[in-house]
Structure 1
């Protein structure tokens, strides 16, 4: 967790502590303020891992203004060995064709 806290991405980012539901219910919440300030619209995007491999993802609204990464999240998580207790930093890497570079810190 300390390594994730000390990590300073160059671009806007948010951090997620991976819980069991993120792996069993197949979604990940995006902080509402981050979404409003930096993204603002629901459109297909990609997650990029540390090797440069990309996964297509979709977002959906989940009530009360919250946004979730849905389709594609679990494929990314499984391919990258994401486990409960890991911390993922999602760094916005494109402003025109949005995408996130994801840095994973194992628990």
Structure 2
């Protein structure tokens, strides 16, 4: 898929966010609504509380899993700004998963030792 196709916005209002909020798991997870910036700057934010609890002071490598496929990615942490991101590898995941602005992703930490985040995507277009 071409990057331009991935950047085409979708509509859908709050429906994907409402559906994502119904997600439940015994594993820790966080939710991100995909905005145009997430697609353009090749990274997405991780809530700082989640990052510091599960990833701080560890190696920067993580794996993003979607539909039984894995993408290696790296975490960035800026303590002075209190920001954390999934960075390197994010762009490959965007293209392979056909992620669009308006989609909502739930990142579920399914393996702490191997640092695997299983992604559940709630599509803006249903």
Name the TM-score, length of structure 1 as normaliser: 0.92
Q: Which residue of 2 aligns with 1:92?
A: 109
Which 5+ residue runs of structure 2 have no aligned equivalent?
Answer: 1-16
1:7-33 CA-to-partner distances (Å, cap 9, x unmatched) read 112300000000111000111011000
Structure having the higher Rg: 2
Contact kept, 8 Å, 1:42 with 1:60, in 2: the verdict is: no
Rounded to whole Å, the distance in 2 between the matches of 1:18 and 1:42 is: 26
**Cα RMSD (Å) of the superposition?**
1.2
1:26-83 CA-to-partner distances (Å, cap 9, x unmatched) read 110110001111222342110000x210000011124412111111011101110110
Structure 1 residue ranges, 4+ long, deviating more than 2 angstroms after superposition: none
Rounded to whole Å, the distance in 1 between the matches of 2:59 and 2:42 is: 18
Rounded to whole Å, the distance in 1 between the matches of 2:112 and 2:23 is: 21
Question: Size of the alignment, in residue pairs?
Answer: 106
